[in-house]
C-alpha cells in the first residue's frame, strides 16, 4: 500500500493527484490506474507540504492525516478510487459500477485498502458540494446533534434512486457498514449509496445521474427528446391555463380515490414531467363540463386523447430506464384512465401497464414501509399512500381481468392506511373513511383470489366442492357490511366503495358454484347428477345477487360525476354471467325461472342507465350477445332449464 503522501513508497502520479491510495501488487500499473485505464507513471516530484497558518485549528490542519487516524488499516470501505475527488476518473468505470454486471463492486470491497483515504469536501453526484463528515454507518439513524437529518430521496433534480434489495450483489448488511455522512450518503463520482433504514433490516438506495443510462436509452431506441420541446408540444395541445383547471378537476373528482399526490409537490404545468401532466389531463377531461370556463372553451372540441397519449409515450419511455416517483404516478394514471371505447375492455394493454407499474414500484422501494425512514414526514405519507394505491389496483385489476396477482403480501408491506398517512391530502373525513374501508375490501379480495381463484385452489375445489364452501364462509364474515356512513351516502366515492363491496361478495360466493357448472358442462346425457348447485351456496348467491341488483337500481343520474375505476365495467358483466351460471345449474324449472327473472331485471336496469353511464355498456353488450345468439345455441341446457327459458322468453 502506497499512501498518496508517502516519500518512502512513492504513489504513482495519478494517485498522488487524486489523493488516493496506490496499490501495486508486484509491478505497475497500480489497481486504480488499471481499472481506469490510465497510464501509471512516476515522473512528478512530490509537492511540498503546506505549513498550517497561524491560529489554524490543529485538528483541521491536515484533513488527510485526521482521516488516516479515523480510518485504520483494513476497515474494508473500498472503492476510494471512485470517491469524492475523482473528477477526472474514466466514466467507463462508473458505468461498470452502476450496472455491476461482472461483480466489480463486490470484488473491490475486498481488494482495495483505504488507509490512505482522504476525507476532503465531497462533490455530490448531483453537482453540489457538501462536507463529507464521516460517521460510523452502523450507528443509525444518521443524526446531527442528536436529531435525524432529513433526506429527500424523491426530490433530487438529476438523481435516479433504485432500491438495493436484500438479495442484491451488493449486500445491504455490508453497505450498512459504509462510512456514510450525516444525511446517510456515501458518495462516489456519479453514484451514491443512500441509507434510509437500519432496523429490522437495512434499506439503501443506489442513486445515480440520469446521464449514466443515456447510452442504454439510446441502444434501446428510446430517444431522449429535450424537455423544452415536449413541453412546448404539450402547451400546443393543452394550454397552461387550461391545464391548471384540469388539474383542479383532477383533485376534485379523481384524487379522492387515488391520493397519489401531496400538497407539498402538486403537479404544475410549468415544472412537472410532461408524461405526468398529460396523464393527469387525460384523466380529468371527462369532467371538464363541471368547470365554468372549460364547459364553454371545450364544448365543441373532442378531448385530445391521441395527442396526449403520443406525448406520454415520448416522454415516459426514456424515463423507464431511470424511474422516479413521477413515473410511478404516471403509470397509476394510465392504469386507471377510462376506456377509450366503453365496449372494449383493453385487457392486454391494461395488464401490461399494471406489470410495468409493479416493476417500477419495486425499483423505487414502494414495496417497503417508509414509516421509519429518515425522510420528511410528507414523503413518508406520500410513499405509503402510493404503495397502498398500487397494492389495491393490483387486486382489482387481477380480479377484473382474470389475471394472477403480481404483488404478494410477503413482499409488499403497506396494505392499509393509517391516520398519519393523511398528511398532505386535504381529504374530507368521508373521503378518508372510504379509503380506509377500501383497504379492508382489497385485503378480502386478495384472500379470495389466493384461496379460491389461484390455479392450485381451483384444483382443490374441483376435487372437493365442499372445500370452497369452507373457504367462503370466513371470507364473507370478514367482509363486514358497508358502514352506514357509506351505504347511506350518495357521494360519488361512497358509490364506488359500495360497488366494490357487492362485487367482492358476489365473486367470493361464485367460486363455490363452479363445480356444479363444470360438471354440467362436461355431461353429455343432460342428467342432473351432481351438477346442481349446493342449496346453501344457491341461497348465499341469491342474496348477494339481489342486493347487487338493488344497488344498480339505486344508482342516480348524478353518478355521471363518479370517476369509475378501470375494473368497474367487468364488475357489471360479472353479475350478468354469474346469474346466467345460476340458471344453468338450477335444480328445477321453478328455480331456473326465478334466476332468469332476476337476470332479465338486471339487463333491463343496465339498458335504462347505460345511455348516461358508459361504464355499464360493456357488461350489457356481452350478456346481450348471448341472448342474441340464443341460449339454446350457446349453452347445453337441461330439459327443465330449456323449458324455463322458452317460457320466459316467449312472454
Who wins on pLDDT, 445 or 39? Answer: 445
Task: Output the pLDDT for position 146.
Answer: 39
For 559, phi and psi rounded to 5 degrees?
Answer: -65, -10
State yes or no: pLDDT of 305 exceeds 90: yes
**For residue 245, what is the enclosing H or E element?**
helix 240-253
Q: What are 407-412's contacts with CB under 8 Å, separation 24+? A: 407/358, 407/367, 409/446, 411/367, 412/367, 412/387
pLDDT in tens, 213-269: 777 777 887 777 889 999 999 999 999 999 999 999 999 999 999 999 999 999 999
Measured distance CA(105)–CA(378) in Å, rounded: 34
State yes or no: pLDDT of 473 exceeds 80: yes
Who wins on pLDDT, 532 or 355? Answer: 355
Mean pLDDT value across residues 499-516: 88
Given a contact cutoff of 8 angstroms between Cβ atoms, the answer to whether 266 and 378 are in contact is: no
Is the entire prediction scored with pTM above 0.85?
A: no
Task: Output the pLDDT for position 119.
Answer: 32
pLDDT in tens, 157-169: 677 889 999 998 8
Task: Output the pLDDT for position 566.
Answer: 93
Measured distance CA(224)–CA(275) in Å, rounded: 13
Half-sphere exposure of 181 (CA within 13 A, CB side): 21
Q: C-alpha dihedral over 283, 289, 294, 299, to 10 degrees? A: 110
Q: Which of 49-53, 85-89, 161-165, 596-600 has the lowest mean pLDDT?
A: 85-89
pLDDT in tens, 418-440: 989 999 888 888 888 888 888 99
Domain range list for the chain: 13-54+61-214, 222-422, 430-650
Q: Which of 155-159, 315-319, 322-326 has the lowest mean pLDDT?
A: 155-159
Q: Which of 88-97, 357-366, 480-489 has the lowest mean pLDDT?
A: 88-97
| Residue of 404, 325, 369, 394 lying closest to 162 (CA atoms) | 325
Task: Output the pLDDT for position 122.
Answer: 36
Task: Output the pLDDT for position 464.
Answer: 81
Task: Output the pLDDT for position 138.
Answer: 35
DSSP string, 36-62: HT------SPPPPPPPPPTT--GGGS-
* CA distance from start to end of the chain: 97
Task: Output the pLDDT for position 63.
Answer: 37
pLDDT in tens, 11-22: 888 887 776 778
| Residue of 67, 199, 68 lying closest to 138 (CA atoms) | 199
**Alpha-carbon 230 to chain mean position:** 25
Contacts of 3 (CB under 8 A, 6+ apart): 9, 11, 21, 22, 68, 115, 116
Q: Which of 376-380, 492-496, 518-522 has the lowest mean pLDDT?
A: 518-522
State yes or no: pLDDT of 24 exceeds 50: yes
Measured distance CA(376)–CA(183) in Å, rounded: 12
Half-sphere exposure of 359 (CA within 13 A, CB side): 10
Task: Output the pLDDT for position 431.
Answer: 87
pLDDT in tens, 58-81: 444 443 443 443 433 333 333 443
Given a contact cutoff of 8 angstroms between Cβ atoms, the answer to whether 319 and 275 are in contact is: yes
Measured distance CA(234)–CA(255) in Å, rounded: 22
Residue 411 — very low, low, confident or very high, per pLDDT cuts 50/70/90? very high
Task: Output the pLDDT for position 29.
Answer: 83
Beta-bridge mates of residue 48: none
Q: Could you give the percent of the chain with pLDDT greater than 70?
A: 77
pLDDT in tens, 179-219: 888 878 888 887 888 888 888 889 999 988 777 777 777 78
Amino acid at each position: 500500500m502506497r499512501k498518496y503522501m508517502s516519500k518512502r513508497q512513492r504513489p504513482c502520479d495519478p494517485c498522488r493527484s487524486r489523493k488516493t491510495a496506490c496499490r501495486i501488487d508486484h509491478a505497475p500499473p497500480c489497481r486504480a490506474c488499471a481499472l481506469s485505464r490510465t497510464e501509471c507513471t512516476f515522473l512528478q516530484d512530490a509537492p511540498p507540504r503546506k505549513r498550517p497558518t497561524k491560529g489554524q485549528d490543529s485538528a483541521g490542519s491536515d484533513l488527510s492525516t485526521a482521516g488516516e487516524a479515523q480510518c485504520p488499516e483494513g476497515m474494508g470501505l473500498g472503492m476510494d478510487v471512485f470517491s469524492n475527488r475523482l473528477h477526472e476518473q474514466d466514466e467507463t468505470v462508473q458505468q461498470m459500477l452502476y450496472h455491476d454486471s461482472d461483480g466489480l463492486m463486490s470484488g473491490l470491497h475486498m481488494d482495495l485498502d483505504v488507509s490512505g483515504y482522504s476525507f476532503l469536501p465531497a462533490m455530490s453526484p448531483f453537482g453540489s458540494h457538501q462536507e463529507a463528515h464521516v460517521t460510523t454507518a452502523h450507528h443509525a439513524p444518521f443524526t446531527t446533534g442528536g436529531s435525524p437529518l432529513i433526506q429527500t430521496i424523491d426530490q433530487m433534480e438529476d438523481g435516479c434512486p433504485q432500491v438495493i434489495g436484500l438479495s442484491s450483489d451488493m449486500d445491504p448488511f455490508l453497505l450498512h457498514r459504509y462510512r456514510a455522512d450525516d444525511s446517510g450518503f456515501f458518495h462516489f463520482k456519479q453514484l451514491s449509496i443512500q441509507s434510509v433504514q437500519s432496523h429490522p433490516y437495512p434499506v439503501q438506495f443506489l442513486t445515480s445521474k440520469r446521464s449514466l443510462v443515456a447510452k442504454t436509452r439510446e441502444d434501446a431506441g428510446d430517444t431522449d427528446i429535450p424537455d423544452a420541446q415536449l413541453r412546448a408540444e404539450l402547451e400546443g395541445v393543452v394550454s397552461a391555463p387550461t391545464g391548471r383547471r384540469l388539474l383542479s378537476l383532477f383533485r376534485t373528482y379523481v384524487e379522492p380515490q387515488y391520493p397519489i399526490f401531496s400538497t407539498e409537490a402538486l403537479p404544475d404545468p410549468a415544472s412537472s414531467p410532461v408524461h405526468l401532466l398529460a396523464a393527469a389531463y387525460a384523466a380529468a377531461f371527462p369532467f371538464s363540463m363541471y368547470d365554468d370556463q372549460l364547459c364553454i372553451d371545450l364544448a365543441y372540441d373532442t378531448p385530445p386523447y391521441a395527442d396526449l397519449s403520443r406525448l406520454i409515450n415520448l416522454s415516459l419511455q426514456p424515463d423507464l430506464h431511470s424511474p422516479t416517483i413521477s413515473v410511478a404516478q404516471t403509470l397509476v394514471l394510465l392504469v386507471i384512465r377510462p376506456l377509450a371505447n366503453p365496449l372494449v375492455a383493453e385487457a392486454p394493454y391494461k395488464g401490461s401497464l399494471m406489470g410495468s407499474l409493479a416493476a417500477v414500484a419495486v425499483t423505487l422501494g414502494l414495496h417497503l414501509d417508509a414509516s421509519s425512514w429518515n425522510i420528511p414526514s410528507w414523503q413518508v405519507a406520500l410513499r405509503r399512500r402510493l404503495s397502498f394505491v398500487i397494492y389495491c389496483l393490483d387486486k382489482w385489476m387481477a380480479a377484473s381481468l382474470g389475471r394472477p396477482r403480481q404483488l404478494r403480501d410477503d413482499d409488499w408491506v403497506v396494505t392499509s392506511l393509517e391516520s398519519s398517512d393523511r398528511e398532505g391530502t386535504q381529504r374530507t373525513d368521508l373521503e378518508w373513511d372510504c379509503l380506509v374501508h377500501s383497504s379492508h375490501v382489497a385485503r378480502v379480495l386478495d384472500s379470495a383470489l389466493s384461496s379460491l381463484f389461484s390455479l392450485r385452489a381451483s384444483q382443490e375445489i374441483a376435487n372437493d366442492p365442499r372445500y370452497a364452501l369452507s373457504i367462503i364462509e370466513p371470507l364473507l364474515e370478514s367482509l363486514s357490511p358497508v358502514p352506514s356512513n357509506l351505504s347511506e351516502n350518495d357521494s360519488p366515492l361512497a358509490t364506488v366503495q359500495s360497488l366494490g363491496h357487492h362485487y367482492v361478495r358476489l365473486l367470493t360466493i361464485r367460486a363455490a358454484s363452479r363445480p356444479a357448472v363444470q360438471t354440467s358442462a362436461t355431461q353429455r346425457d343432460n342428467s342432473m347428477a351432481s351438477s346442481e348447485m349446493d342449496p346453501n351456496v344457491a341461497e348465499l348467491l341469491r342474496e348477494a345477487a339481489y342486493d347487487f341488483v338493488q344497488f344498480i337500481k339505486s344508482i342516480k343520474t348524478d353518478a355521471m360525476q363518479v370517476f369509475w375505476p378501470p375494473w368497474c365495467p367487468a364488475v357489471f358483466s360479472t353479475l350478468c354471467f354469474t346469474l346466467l351460471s345460476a340458471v344453468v345449474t338450477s335444480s328445477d324449472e321453478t328455480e331456473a325461472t326465478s334466476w332468469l327473472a332476476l337476470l332479465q331485471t338486471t339487463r333491463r336496469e343496465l339498458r335504462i342507465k347505460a345511455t348516461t353511464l358508459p361504464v355499464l355498456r360493456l357488461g350489457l353488450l356481452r350478456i346481450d350477445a348471448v341472448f342474441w345468439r340464443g341460449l339454446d345455441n350457446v349453452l347445453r341446457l337441461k330439459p327443465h332449464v330449456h323449458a324455463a327459458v322458452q317460457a320466459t322468453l316467449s312472454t
